[in-house]
Amino acid sequence: MIQSATQYPVRTLLDAQSNLTYVIPPYQREYSWQRGQWENLFQDLLEAEGQHFLGTIITLNNSTDTMNPRLELIDGQQRLTTLSILLAACYSVLVEHREQLDFDQNFGVQSLDRQLVIAGTKAPRLVLQTQGENRKDYHWMLHEAGLPVDEVESPYCGLRRIVRCFNHFRGAILELAEEPGDPDAPAMTPPEAAYRMMSAVNNAIIVKIEVSTASDAFTLFESLNNRGLPLSPVDLIKNQFLALSDARGEMDVQDAFTRWDGTLRNLGDSYNNHERFLRHYYNAFISELPPVANASVATKKNLIHIFETLFKSDLTGQINKLVQASALFGRIACTRKRPDPTRLDLAYQNLNRVQAAPSYVLLLWLEAHAEDKNLAERDLTIVTDMLVSFFARRNVTGYPATYVLPRMFMGIIKDSLDKEGAEVLRVIANALRRNSSDDETFRSRLEQDLYTENVDAARFVLTSLSEQGMTDENRKDLWERQSGKYVWTIEHILPQGENLPDAWTDMLGGPDAAAQAQAGYAHKLGNLTFSVYNSNLGNRGFLDKRDHRDTNGNFIGYRNGIPLNADLATKESWGPAEIQERTEHLVDRALTRFPLPHE
């Protein structure tokens, strides 16, 4: 039975004056959010107009202590944990610059202290589960942020997600101070940036549903996760368009629906692609569209307002332009397989794999203006290859921040309006080089634990390096999927799991040395490769992995012919020295494969 269902701002859920504790039950999975989700949360909060809605949490109230109530967090633990880490990052920046804070900001810091750690105790308000060292890492993170908790020793916590999330948010706050993301916004100091994000988190809204039994909690959890989706902004924009078509009589509803449906069919089935296209359409052609008040850039928040204005201004003209632009966008986003792909189509495919969706706005504008800008397919291919390198670097290093990218690409378009041909390419190259991570930073991040930092970036780098050595005779599609999963999966040569077999502990010099090797080297680039038979290799010893064959006698271990495995096929042992050597070799190749654009 539901006891209550009420929406609260986060500051109320984490009430500084209360003794309420949220406990994540031991059966819940460990903290699993990664950088892409951290970035999306940060950007959504940054762009929020008013109070940002963060969804629903489900809590179970089986506490009998009214003075120190405890709620079990059945659903929403990933969000609440991440929000608390973001608040801790804000706190750490604020206390480092305490001398710059005014009275209200100092009061906010004191309240923030008690939001995360219960007043008069050293007990965190959020009690994490113990698996994966989550609770120890969380305590260590709070201690490092300057909060009054007991220091807990947590070896290698910097390699795991909670502390990496904290460091990511700290970096994002400091970067926000340097680059507000809005050219019209005044520069901020670090504490101003931290205070802004703290306020955005505390003002965000969460619906808390409280139940009285575990059975009710799980029934409700299943119901919420299987409910029908509410109308999306894309649905609402479609309804506006159809209603306006009918009211004005410019086209009958069936014709209007056919045109709208044609737009979406060009974009494939993904809702994310539909919404992304509408944002990119406006951002790409903003100088050519009817003016929209208070919309210098399209965001999720103002998308409905933008298209309501555009349709009211020129209904028929806008839908015709949308249909044409969607066909171009569909090619860029690779929503349909082309029977005879050109070099440009293959470049677009690579761009999709490097997760470069923010750049589609630039390519959409270039595709639409290729003729009047004297740009051939070869020119667009050059631009796309530059963007692949830019995003390979960006996804490894996290620079520039996600929220900077829309205006960066819009700025490139603006600077190219009066250019053509080689001049356009020069504008793009200069902007990408100016906003790219330098070689030293790129190298440094590649040499760290890339797999735990960003598994998608690790896959793209490894795949790109392996494809360099492929020929028509030995080509393998490392991006092949079956039932939505990759056929070729990332394989840890030195296994990452516990309970290493004797073959590994003997090779590495005993259990303690093996544990140290795993902690320091398991997730480095040099310890990663691809296998189509990952489950068959598992925790086997290195020589067994190297020489393993299937029932037909075909090599399925490291002698499987994949170029990435060529150096492994002749190794007799595998440990920290070999991993470090291979890491340095692969990093050197990555810097060559993803160069900074030149003039």
Dmax (CA) of the chain: 81
Q: What is the pLDDT of residue 82?
A: 96
CA distance linking residue 445 with residue 70, whole number of Å: 41
Task: Phi first, then psi: give them for residue 75, nearest 5 degrees.
Answer: -140, 135
CA distance linking residue 528 with residue 453, whole number of Å: 14
Amino acid at 121: T
Residue 514 · residue 504 · CB < 8 Å: yes
Beta pairing partners, 481 = 486
Residue 106 · residue 77 · CB < 8 Å: no
Which helix H or strand E contains 357, and what residues bound it? Answer: none
Pull the structure tokens for residue 315.
């209904």
CA distance linking residue 399 with residue 584, whole number of Å: 22
Residue 209 · residue 5 · CB < 8 Å: yes
Pull the structure tokens for residue 592.
């060559």
A 10 A CB-CB count for 36 gives: 15
CA distance linking residue 13 with residue 566, whole number of Å: 55
A 10 A CB-CB count for 81 gives: 25
Q: What is the pLDDT of residue 183?
A: 56
CA distance linking residue 597 with residue 430, whole number of Å: 7
pLDDT in tens, the chain (599 residues): 566 678 999 999 999 999 999 998 876 778 888 888 898 899 889 887 778 888 888 888 877 777 888 998 888 899 999 999 999 999 999 999 888 888 877 887 888 999 999 988 889 999 998 877 899 999 999 999 999 898 777 777 887 889 999 999 999 999 888 876 565 567 788 989 999 999 999 999 998 888 776 556 656 555 555 444 455 788 888 888 888 887 888 887 788 888 998 898 899 888 889 999 999 999 999 999 999 998 999 988 899 999 999 999 999 999 999 999 999 999 999 998 788 899 999 999 999 999 999 999 999 999 999 999 999 999 999 999 999 999 999 999 999 988 899 999 999 999 999 999 999 999 999 999 999 999 999 999 999 998 888 889 999 999 999 998 887 777 888 898 887 788 888 989 999 877 888 889 999 999 999 989 998 999 999 999 988 765 556 668 888 888 888 778 888 788 888 888 888 988 999 999 999 999 999 999 999 999 998 76
CA distances from 58 to 41, 204, 212 (A): 20, 17, 11
Amino acid at 355: Q
Amino acid at 408: M
Cα separation of the two ends of the chain: 66
- DSSP, res 567: T
CA distance linking residue 300 with residue 322, whole number of Å: 18
CA distance linking residue 384 with residue 293, whole number of Å: 33
CA distance linking residue 128 with residue 139, whole number of Å: 9
Distance of CA 98 to the CA centre of its chain: 31
Give every CB contact of residue 195 below 8 A, 6+ residues apart in sequence.
90, 94, 105, 108
Whose structure tokens read 């790109």? 464
Residue 510 · residue 500 · CB < 8 Å: no
CA distance linking residue 84 with residue 233, whole number of Å: 29
pTM over 0.85: no
Q: What is the pLDDT of residue 447?
A: 95
- DSSP, res 30: P
Residue 494 · residue 527 · CB < 8 Å: yes
Give every CB contact of residue 158 below 8 A, 6+ residues apart in sequence.
164, 167
Q: What is the pLDDT of residue 229?
A: 42
Peptide bond into 400 cis (omega under 30): yes
Pull the structure tokens for residue 269.
């089935």
Q: What is the pLDDT of residue 553?
A: 81
